[in-house]
Structure formats: structure tokens, C-alpha cells
Chain A
Amino acid sequence: MKNLMKAFLVTAMLCVFISAPAMAAKKVVVGGKNYTEQYILAEMAKQLLEDAGFKVESKTGVGSVVARKSLVNGQIDLYYEYTGTAYTVFYKKKDTEIMTNPDKCYNWVKEADAKKGLVWLEPLNFNNTYTLMMRKEDAKSKNIKTISDLAKYIKENPGEINFGIDSEFYQRPDGFKKLMKTYDFRVGRNDIKLMSIGLTYMALKEKEVSSAMGFSTDGRISSFGFVNLVDNKNFFPVYNPAPVVRKEVLEKYPEIRDVLKPLTEKLTTKEIQKLNALVDIEHKDIKEAVSDWLKANNLI
């Protein structure tokens, strides 16, 4: 019995010693949405923070609404959100003057979220806007360069064009339903195929749909031979990504701001496109691609 007690005490002390460093460590939970660019951004934040001595847990792979709710509820501490998304989806605002101007948009959402205890850190410099894509030869043969061209074509040839879009895009206030209204065209519900994000590129490639929705920094657009239709009516807001952190977490670890700052200068549109292509086309592992890039840019 005495021996048992001794063994128990030793084990208990060992447990405390082993977990002590863990308890003292700085811990952050990083969230992210469910497409490649978001996985890359979340991974960047993770590696940069780990390099600065943080213990990071990732909770990625969810939709925009879920990511936002998780942040508000404190289930995650930080994730990269796009200015346009926050403006139109979470705040449901539609002032075109603000939302198409990168600075105005960023300042607006920063102020609004500050009241909710959410801090927007330095934004990144690229614009990952939604785009409507078509296969290059198809667009050429139908003489379609802008979304207005497409709208005109649809009116003259009803029933010919069908769309492959992501379910989130369909419902969002900056999404497809509103797009149809702004460009004054209407496609039957049967000609709108909803699918999960990655599948839209496949559907367009396999000619299952005539036009698909995509992200402008996605690496597959050029490599699959797609072309982005010009948003001549400036329907889409600007989407600059920025880390959004909970106030309490930032107050506890103010160094987070400086750890993530360097990305603003180094992660340009070209760089993110390259990274996206590396992951989506060449199928490079996300962790590796990110760590290689960070090392090459002397950030870790």
C-alpha cells in the first residue's frame, strides 16, 4: 500500500512537471475557411506564430459564416477575413463607393468590428475577388468579354447558358442572386448548379457548365484555360484579406501584430497566385509550400 502511494505521488509530480511548460506556453487557436488560399493563410499564421514561440492549434475547413461565428464565440482566436466579405455579408452594407475602395472598406470594417471586440490587423495587399469564369475558346466564340456581354447573350439565347457556383456564393448578399439583378439577367433555377467550392473549377473544365464562379487568385484559372469575365459594373467589392483577432487575445499577446505584419509587404498577388497554383496544380503539401516560402522570404 505504501509502495502504491509512493508510485502514485511520483507519477502525479511527473505529470505536473511535464505539463507545466505546456501550461505556461502561449496558446492561440487559428481558424480558416475551406478553400486552398485560406488553408495557406492559416498555415502562414500558424508557422509564423510558432516561430515566435506560440503553441498553435488550427481549426480550419469551415464556411465563412461558421468561421465568423467561431471567432465571435471565442472558439477560435484569429482567422483571415476579407474586407468585402465582412462589409457585405456580416454587415449587409451596399454602399458601392465604400466597398470598391480598398482603404475605405478596410477602415469601415475595422471600426465596426472594434465595437464588437474584434481587431483587424494589417491587411494584405492582394484582392481575391469572386469572378465569373468561362472556358477561353467558348468565351471567344460567343464574343463574351464582360459580364454584361454574358447577360446580353443569355437574353438572346435563353436556356443555353448554365452556371456552376458554390452554394455560399449563391446565397451571399454579394453573390449570384444579387449579381443577376445588377446585370439584369435571369437564369432559371434549373440552370444554376450548386456544388462545393473546388468542384466549380472541375465542372467548368469538364464542360458540365458553361460558366462557373471562382476566386481570382486561384491557380487553376490560367492552368485550366479559363478566362475571367470583366466586372464592368463594379458589382464585386474589394476583398483584401486581413487577420482578425479577438481583443482579449491581442491584449494578452500584443506581439501577434508584429509577427504577422511582414506578410503585408511580402505576400503580393503574384506570390499568392504562385502558392495557390503550387498547391492546387502541382499538389505540393500546404505545410511544405508555406514553410519553403517563409524561409525563402526570410520570415522564419
Chain B
Amino acid sequence: MIINFLGKLKTFFLFVLFVLTGVYLEKIGFFDYITDPYEYPYILRLLKQHIVMVAVSMFLATITGVVVGIILTRPKFSKYSGIVMYIVGLGQTIPSLAVLALSLSVLGIGFKPAVFALYIYSVLPIARNTLAGILSVPPEIKDAAKGTGFSNMRILFEIEIPYSMSVIITGFRVALVINIGTVALGYLIGAGGLGELIFTGISLMDTKMLLAGAIPTTLLALFGDFLCELASFILVPKGLRTSSKTN
């Protein structure tokens, strides 16, 4: 009974919060700002830049990450997996701003250096999860498959990959969320994106501009996260589906 009440209280509270936020945004001219015909195409353009940077870097990172992860599980290369994963682990510890800054000092300013930095930064979670996922396939299943005459290729594509899908998608999801946030920092090395609105808003103390950047970035990250949930639902074979909420 108390639980029911608390649940309803929470919903009510969220609703009030939502309405208050709307009123606040209206008061500071947020909605006027984003629908202003001079500003509106500019905001959309920054959003597009942002999405392009995310898409390009994630695409390259996924291909590289999955391939590297798979290669490291092949018997020929498995002795390197320890070292590679150690370096990979190290790389993950390096803060995103640092990677962007280093990219700037080597490659200069603009879109390409930013995408390069993002690419490097996003490969790591994907590679690590691919490796872990494939290694976690129970050897008995692989044995059974070999026994029934599966070629190594078939084992990879029909058993190992589907089995590790859930873990790989989690890696992708982690990389994606961090990627979207890091793209916002890309403004600092001249790459544009929604970060332009956020940082300019901070320096001018212009709240509506700041929120015009911060809110879409947040929504983008939440949306990306949600899409990964969906993808997980579609791509992970039914038999292996586990609740990934506490992952």
C-alpha cells in the first residue's frame, strides 16, 4: 500500500517537474530562441554536424573494434590478447578531453582531428567487449559444433558472434554514449557540433543558448542508449536474452 502510494507520488512529482521545466524554459525565451527563423537552421546544422561526427567515428570504431576483438580470439593471436587488452584498458583510463587535446596538437583543428580522436576513443570498449564476449562462449558448445562438422568460419558467424551479441552491443552502447558526450567537446578544437551552443552559452551566461545545446545533446545520448536497447532486443537470439538493466 505504501509502495503504491510512493509510486504515485513519484509520478506526480515527475509531472510537476516536467511542467515547471516547461514554464522556466518559456520564461527564459528558450522556445522563442529555437524557433527563431535566423537561429533555427543554425541549430539544426550544429545538430547535423554532431550526428555526423558521432556516426562516422562510431562506424569506423565498430568495424575496427569488432575485427580486432575477433582476431585476438583466434588461436594464432591469442598470446597477444593479454598485452593488447592491457594497453586497451590503459587507453580507456585516459580522459576524453585529453585525447581530443592530443589530437589537436598533432593533427590541428577541425572536423577530421576530432573524428580521429573520437574513433580512437570509441574502439576500446567495443574491442574489449567483443573479446570478452567471444571468450565467454562455453567450449563445450564449440566442441559440439566442431563435432558436427562446422568449419571455423561457421562457428564464428553462427555460434560465437550470436552468443556474444549481448556483450558486444553493451560495449557499443557504452562507447556510443561517451562518444556523443565527447563530440560536445569537439567545439574546443574547432569541430563545431552542439558544443558550440553550450560553451558559447556558458561564456555569455546565455541560458537559452546553453540549454539549446545541452538539452539536445542529452536527448541524443538518451535516445542512442534506447536504440541500443532495441538493437539488443532484435539482434540477441531469444534464447540468450537476459535482463541488461543492471549491466
- On whether the two chains bind one another, the answer is yes
- Roughly how many angstroms separate A66 CA and B110 CA in the complex, as a whole number? 27
B204 to A: closest C-beta gap in Å: 5
- Taking the complex as formed, is B224 at the interface, i.e. its CB lies under 8 A from any CB of chain A? no
A171 engages B196 (CB within 8 Å): no
Chain A residues, CB < 8 A from B45:
189-190
- Roughly how many angstroms separate A208 CA and B200 CA in the complex, as a whole number? 20
- A199 nearest in chain B by CB position: B190
A189 engages B204 (CB within 8 Å): no
- Roughly how many angstroms separate A203 CA and B109 CA in the complex, as a whole number? 7
- B108 nearest in chain A by CB position: A206
- Evaluate whether A168 and B204 lie within 8 angstroms (CB atoms) in the complex, with A203-B190, A206-B109, A208-B190 already known: yes
- Evaluate whether A167 and B200 lie within 8 angstroms (CB atoms) in the complex, with A189-B41, A189-B45, A196-B188 already known: yes
- Taking the complex as formed, is B32 at the interface, i.e. its CB lies under 8 A from any CB of chain A? no
Chain B residues, CB < 8 A from A66:
203, 205
A208 engages B109 (CB within 8 Å): yes
- B192 nearest in chain A by CB position: A193
B204 engages A194 (CB within 8 Å): no
- Evaluate whether A167 and B109 lie within 8 angstroms (CB atoms) in the complex, with A189-B38, A199-B190 already known: no
Chain A residues, CB < 8 A from B190:
193, 195, 199, 202-203, 208
- Roughly how many angstroms separate A69 CA and B38 CA in the complex, as a whole number? 28
A195 engages B203 (CB within 8 Å): no
Residues of chain A from 217 to 274 with CB closer than 8 A to chain B in the complex: none
Chain A residues, CB < 8 A from B108:
202, 206
- B188 nearest in chain A by CB position: A196
A167 engages B199 (CB within 8 Å): yes
- Taking the complex as formed, is B119 at the interface, i.e. its CB lies under 8 A from any CB of chain A? no
Chain B residues, CB < 8 A from A34:
203
- Taking the complex as formed, is A62 at the interface, i.e. its CB lies under 8 A from any CB of chain B? yes
* Contacting residue for A62 out of B42, B203, B206, CB 8 A: B203
- Roughly how many angstroms separate A123 CA and B41 CA in the complex, as a whole number? 43
* Contacting residue for A171 out of B38, B110, B189, B204, CB 8 A: B204
- Taking the complex as formed, is A159 at the interface, i.e. its CB lies under 8 A from any CB of chain B? no
B185 to A: closest C-beta gap in Å: 12
- Roughly how many angstroms separate A65 CA and B196 CA in the complex, as a whole number? 17
- Taking the complex as formed, is A158 at the interface, i.e. its CB lies under 8 A from any CB of chain B? no
- Taking the complex as formed, is B121 at the interface, i.e. its CB lies under 8 A from any CB of chain A? no
* Contacting residue for A168 out of B38, B42, B189, B203, CB 8 A: B203
- Taking the complex as formed, is B172 at the interface, i.e. its CB lies under 8 A from any CB of chain A? no
- Evaluate whether A171 and B109 lie within 8 angstroms (CB atoms) in the complex, with A189-B42, A193-B192 already known: no
A115 to B: closest C-beta gap in Å: 22
- Taking the complex as formed, is A63 at the interface, i.e. its CB lies under 8 A from any CB of chain B? yes
A222 to B: closest C-beta gap in Å: 22
Chain A residues, CB < 8 A from B188:
196
Residues of chain A from 148 to 171 with CB closer than 8 A to chain B in the complex: 167-168, 170-171
- Taking the complex as formed, is B163 at the interface, i.e. its CB lies under 8 A from any CB of chain A? no
Chain A residues, CB < 8 A from B202:
63
- Roughly how many angstroms separate A190 CA and B49 CA in the complex, as a whole number? 12
- Taking the complex as formed, is B187 at the interface, i.e. its CB lies under 8 A from any CB of chain A? yes
- Evaluate whether A195 and B187 lie within 8 angstroms (CB atoms) in the complex, with A190-B45, A202-B109, A206-B108 already known: yes
Residues of chain A from 26 to 79 with CB closer than 8 A to chain B in the complex: 34, 62-63, 65-66, 69
B40 to A: closest C-beta gap in Å: 10
Residues of chain B from 194 to 237 with CB closer than 8 A to chain A in the complex: 196, 199-200, 202-206
Chain B residues, CB < 8 A from A65:
203-205
- Evaluate whether A63 and B203 lie within 8 angstroms (CB atoms) in the complex, with A193-B192, A194-B196 already known: yes
B43 to A: closest C-beta gap in Å: 10
Chain B residues, CB < 8 A from A208:
109-110, 190
Q: Which 3 A-B pairs have CB atoms at the shortest separation, nearest pair first?
A: A63-B203, A167-B200, A189-B42
Contacts A63-B205, A190-B45, A206-B109 given; 20 further ones with Cβ under 8 A?
A63-B203, A66-B203, A69-B205, A167-B196, A168-B204, A171-B200, A171-B206, A189-B38, A189-B41, A189-B42, A189-B45, A193-B192, A194-B200, A195-B190, A196-B199, A199-B189, A199-B190, A202-B190, A208-B110, A208-B190
Residues in chain A within 8 A of chain B (CB atoms): 34, 62-63, 65-66, 69, 167-168, 170-171, 189-190, 193-196, 199, 202-203, 206, 208
Pairs across A and B, CB under 8 Å, 21 listed: A34-B203, A63-B202, A65-B203, A167-B196, A167-B203, A168-B200, A168-B204, A170-B200, A171-B206, A190-B45, A193-B190, A194-B196, A195-B190, A196-B187, A196-B199, A202-B109, A202-B190, A203-B190, A206-B109, A208-B110, A208-B190
